[in-house]
Structure 1
Amino acid sequence: MSLYGGGYLTNPYLSKLQKNGNLIAFLDVIAPYSSTNPVMQTILNFSNYENTDEKHPWHSYFDVIGLFKLASYETFFISNQEGFGMWGNAVASIGSNALNVYFSNQGKNSIRYMNFRPDSVLFEYINNIKLKEKNFIIIHLMGSHFIYDYRYENNFKKYKAADIKSNLDEKKRKKIASYYNSILYNDYIINSIYERFAKDDSLILYLSDHAESLYDDKTKSVLGHSIIDKTNAEIPFIFIFSDTFKQKHNNLLVKIQNAVNKAYMSDDLIHTLCDLAGLNYYECDEKRSIINENYNDKRKRLFHNVDYDKFLK
């Protein structure tokens, strides 16, 4: 992502939102795992590596959809990934409890994700949402999931193998170019979602479940994810907010801005959501909310149960 200093222009829309004061990008956030299902088992509920074991599995903990329903929010779960299937069970089991549920790929064969359409397929549903007084919306994108050629529309084929400055062979450079095109397309998707809610009192929190290696892992051999390497751990964590939100909730924006450099792991996401929404459910822990003044920034961050800081040595 060029928003995070990447060498290729992949975030023209998000960079403009940042320049206009409508976006804050956090700089030190990691995922707990390198693949979707185990990540979703931790970021959508109150489970984490400290409280989860055989006697207390992830699905025994209260989830984010139930939390916001309890707080009288209209809840939405909108997904361009699979429903219940090979890799989507955790997210689908939680998301399907929303009051409004939409899977664009329900029942499709998820093998290698080649059958799934680009994320713009969700726009028709998103644009027709009937908002209530309070709304909590989860939009689960395909994003830049491998295989990258299938993640964007033809008019986003900006980068080619020849554009990639690398000593890798042409076949590998072509795959990397496709990845950059998928990031460019994802930039368009996120901005389009922002524009849908830009006239509302709205806050968008965007994050990735995990990252990808572009042959830049420690072995210099992996394209994709599901490896224990810092290239799979480090994720974008971005707040995007409307002008109305800025006017009405300056106190929250100050908290968000003050936390931009803090170390964080996404398995504590639900606690930050509690803080943002002002929810006082008994399991909400201010020490686990990155925007809270009492946030514990000394908590050890484990990636696949390996101390993340060891990757940096």
Structure 2
Amino acid sequence: MATTKSAPAGRIGIDWAGLGWMLLFFWYFSGVTQTLIALSGVAGLQGLRQASMASALWLIPLLLFPARTRLLAGVIGTTLWLCSLSGFGYFLVYGQEFSQSVIFIMFESNVSEATEYLGHYFSWSIVFAAVAYGLGGWLLWRKVRPVYLPRQMTLVACLLLFGLSMGYEAVRQYIKRDDLQRAVDEFEENIEVASPWQLAVGYHQYRRQLGNMEDLLASQEQIPPLKNLVDAHVGQPSTLVLVIGESTNRQRLSLYGYSRPTTPNLDKLRGELQVFDNVVTPRPYTIEALQQVLTFADQEHPNLYLSTPSLVSMMKQAGYKTYWITNQQTMTKRNTMLTTFSKQADEQFYLNNNRDQNTTSQYDGDVLDPFAKVLADDAPRKFVVVHLLGTHMRYHYRYPEEFDHFTDRSGVPASVTDDQLPTYNSYDNAVLYNDYVVSSLIERFRATDPSGFLLYLADHGEAVFDAPDPKVLGRNEGAPTSPMYTVPFILWGSPKWQAQQQARNFTASLHRPYSSSHFIHTWADLAGLRFDEFDPSKSLVSAEFRERPLLIGNPQQPKSLIDFSLIKPKKPVDQDADLVQQEREAKDRTM
């Protein structure tokens, strides 16, 4: 049993070195990552300061129960290490700070999707770094020793530590803010740089946001309808189809000039299509992007989805029977927050109920049969949403074997390494299969001789070793590149529908800079709907269209918003001439 050493008469002996080792041990699990972030210039020293203060909290149980110091330190330290691995690993992969937005996406993803990302970014160097990181914590744990203080001093020290780590900041925000919820949000934002609060705060925010969306389902019927809605085609049969792609960067479509023939079927339909080539998504994540695409929310008014009708509600108000067909994984009907939108439709088709999203039997071609069933429905006016898995990571799971067409370096930029080549090729093969699915939807739709149109766009893009940064794979709002935001936007209109447009000419619209955050206005315009909330200057196809900055970033942090033009390449890099030039330059560098 440990005993307290006698202190010299007249003063109390304090083991400052022991306290220092305790603090260093707990600081380690947040401070290492924050130090790397600060040294790399990604962020300033504020995160390091906040992490250091928050780490002081864990000294309290060790001071209260000094006889169990090593045990408590081991349990707490192991928990902190495990919780901190996400932020540590994210920095190693992306060179960016693990933000609350990333946490939100992590919790919104199902286990299968998370496994995909882990598989894509797995490398033994990351494993080695994580082990070394854990070894460093273990070596510090061996230095931790009991620190005995008189009872009254222990209580005072614990109060001071609590105030330093949590109490002061909580009281400051409570006094500073107008309402309690805002104070809590600010307090959470200040402590989330430290482990385990990154995950705890992220989960709390996720649950709250999910709760908001669940409340939206219940309250959607209470939202007032659009004011003075007028339908130019009222009473006429009409079928309107919205196809939502996934993770598809238009720069990898031959329809948009990519050198490889990744969209042969759409290329053949080119004369029947309106191909808009300057559309970008506001955010590189599915939920956040579609929350704006499918509502009146946009980057400057991100919360309008809470108080205005959605696209589905708008079409129901116009007298359309509504359908939602999705191949996004649905372990349950509430697997993702997109279910909020799908549940508003009259009928839903949830196709992907596999335990594992990475199967060789769950392809987007599965949407074709339910789509044909919907087309055969005798409802005179139909609005159909088809949500694809598209070119979602992992790409080689997105297409059957017969679409494994791109297997060599033909047409591949010289910047793509041998290690990157299989992933680069599988993405192009996924685009090739996506072309088959989208063109098949158009052809099946056309075969019914409809009066209506089909519009295809992707929720966001994806960087797959593309210029301007050929090392990037995936999406990262903190380090945006153009492939993450450039999306295909393609319109097919039936002859009957085109006849209703009074010789409307889309030529002037094809190259307009446009954000899909204003999509609902374009859709309403194409559908012939007018209402008080409609803004023709936000419609891509309106004569009253007005150019606006293409804002990207997190709208909950307005200062982080930037104009897409600031990251957009000044000229294409995927044309044949550019590719040849890149290959020549690469050869010159190796000679």
TM-score computed with the length of structure 2 as normaliser? 0.49
Task: Find the aligned partners of 2:290 and 2:355 in 1 and give their Cα distance.
Answer: 20
CA shift, 1:87, in A, is 10
Corresponding residue number in structure 2 for 1:260: 510
Corresponding residue number in structure 1 for 2:492: 240
Q: Residue 6 in 1 paired to residue 258 in 2?
A: yes
Corresponding residue number in structure 1 for 2:350: 103
What is the one-letter code of the residue matched to 1:181? N
Query: Which digits, 9 at most, give the CA deviation of each residue in 1:255-279, with x for residues without a partner?
Result: x332111110001110011111121
Matches within 5 A, 1:106-185: 106=353, 108-109=354-355, 113-115=357-359, 117-129=362-374, 130-163=377-410, 164-185=412-433
Corresponding residue number in structure 2 for 1:277: 527
Bigger helix share: 2
Corresponding residue number in structure 2 for 1:301: 550
SS at match of 1:171: coil
User: How many residues get paired?
Assistant: 302
CA RMSD of aligned residues (A): 2.2
Task: Find the aligned partners of 2:338 and 2:381 in 1 and give their Cα distance.
Answer: 22
Residues 271 and 286, structure 1, Cα contact 8 Å, conserved in 2:
yes
Matches within 5 A, 1:74-85: 74-83=321-330
What is the one-letter code of the residue matched to 2:433? Y
Task: Find the aligned partners of 1:85 and 1:58 in 2 and give their Cα distance.
Answer: 24
Corresponding residue number in structure 2 for 1:61: 308
> Would the alpha carbon gap of residues 131 and 36 (structure 1) be closer, same or farther in structure 2, given more than 3 Å must change?
farther
> Would the alpha carbon gap of residues 119 and 37 (structure 1) be closer, same or farther in structure 2, given more than 3 Å must change?
same
Q: Residue 194 in 1 paired to residue 442 in 2?
A: yes
Q: Residue 71 in 1 paired to residue 311 in 2?
A: no
Task: Find the aligned partners of 1:88 and 1:221 in 2 and give their Cα distance.
Answer: 32
Query: Which digits, 9 at most, give the CA deviation of each residue in 1:225-273, with x for residues without a partner?
Result: 2342112111111111223333x2343641x332111110001110011
Find runs of 4+ consecutive structure 1 residues off by over 6 angstroms: 84-88
From 283, 286, 309, the equivalent of 1:33 is: 283
Corresponding residue number in structure 2 for 1:204: 454
Higher relative contact order (CA 8 A, sep 6+): 1
Matches within 5 A, 1:211-226: 211-226=461-476
SS at match of 1:49: coil
CA shift, 1:84, in A, is 7.9
Corresponding residue number in structure 2 for 1:310: 566
SS at match of 1:104: strand
Residues 45 and 61, structure 1, Cα contact 8 Å, conserved in 2:
yes
Task: Find the aligned partners of 1:196 and 1:273 in 2 and give their Cα distance.
Answer: 21
Task: Find the aligned partners of 1:14 and 1:194 in 2 and give their Cα distance.
Answer: 9
SS at match of 1:210: coil
CA shift, 1:168, in A, is 3.0
Residues 161 and 176, structure 1, Cα contact 8 Å, conserved in 2:
no
CA shift, 1:85, in A, is 7.4
What is the one-letter code of the residue matched to 1:249? Q
What is the one-letter code of the residue matched to 1:309? S
What is the one-letter code of the residue matched to 1:121? D
What is the one-letter code of the residue matched to 2:564? Y
TM-score computed with the length of structure 1 as normaliser? 0.89
Corresponding residue number in structure 2 for 1:286: 536
SS at match of 1:181: helix
> Would the alpha carbon gap of residues 131 and 308 (structure 1) be closer, same or farther in structure 2, given more than 3 Å must change?
farther
Task: Find the aligned partners of 2:452 and 2:500 in 1 and give their Cα distance.
Answer: 10
Task: Find the aligned partners of 2:467 and 2:309 in 1 and give their Cα distance.
Answer: 35
Task: Find the aligned partners of 1:280 and 1:46 in 2 and give their Cα distance.
Answer: 14
> Would the alpha carbon gap of residues 131 and 301 (structure 1) be closer, same or farther in structure 2, given more than 3 Å must change?
farther
Residues 68 and 136, structure 1, Cα contact 8 Å, conserved in 2:
yes
From 502, 507, 510, the equivalent of 1:251 is: 502
What is the one-letter code of the residue matched to 1:177? N
Residues 252 and 276, structure 1, Cα contact 8 Å, conserved in 2:
no
CA shift, 1:217, in A, is 4.8
Residues 462 and 484, structure 2, Cα contact 8 Å, conserved in 1:
yes
Task: Find the aligned partners of 2:419 and 2:494 in 1 and give their Cα distance.
Answer: 42
CA shift, 1:57, in A, is 5.7
Task: Find the aligned partners of 2:518 and 2:493 in 1 and give their Cα distance.
Answer: 21
Residues 331 and 352, structure 2, Cα contact 8 Å, conserved in 1:
no
What is the one-letter code of the residue matched to 2:491? F
Higher alpha-carbon Rg: 2
Residues 29 and 264, structure 1, Cα contact 8 Å, conserved in 2:
yes
Task: Find the aligned partners of 1:69 and 1:292 in 2 and give their Cα distance.
Answer: 23
What is the one-letter code of the residue matched to 1:212? E
> Would the alpha carbon gap of residues 147 and 59 (structure 1) be closer, same or farther in structure 2, given more than 3 Å must change?
farther
SS at match of 1:128: helix
> Would the alpha carbon gap of residues 175 and 131 (structure 1) be closer, same or farther in structure 2, given more than 3 Å must change?
farther
SS at match of 1:15: helix
Task: Find the aligned partners of 2:564 and 2:296 in 1 and give their Cα distance.
Answer: 21
Task: Find the aligned partners of 1:224 and 1:252 in 2 and give their Cα distance.
Answer: 41
Q: Bigger CA drift: 210-219 or 287-296?
A: 210-219
> Would the alpha carbon gap of residues 58 and 82 (structure 1) be closer, same or farther in structure 2, given more than 3 Å must change?
farther
- The sequence identity of aligned pairs, in percent, is 27
CA shift, 1:60, in A, is 3.4
Residues 40 and 90, structure 1, Cα contact 8 Å, conserved in 2:
no
Q: Residue 229 in 1 paired to residue 481 in 2?
A: yes
Query: Which digits, 9 at most, give the CA deviation of each residue in 1:169-208, with x for residues without a partner?
Result: 3231111111111111111101110111102123111101
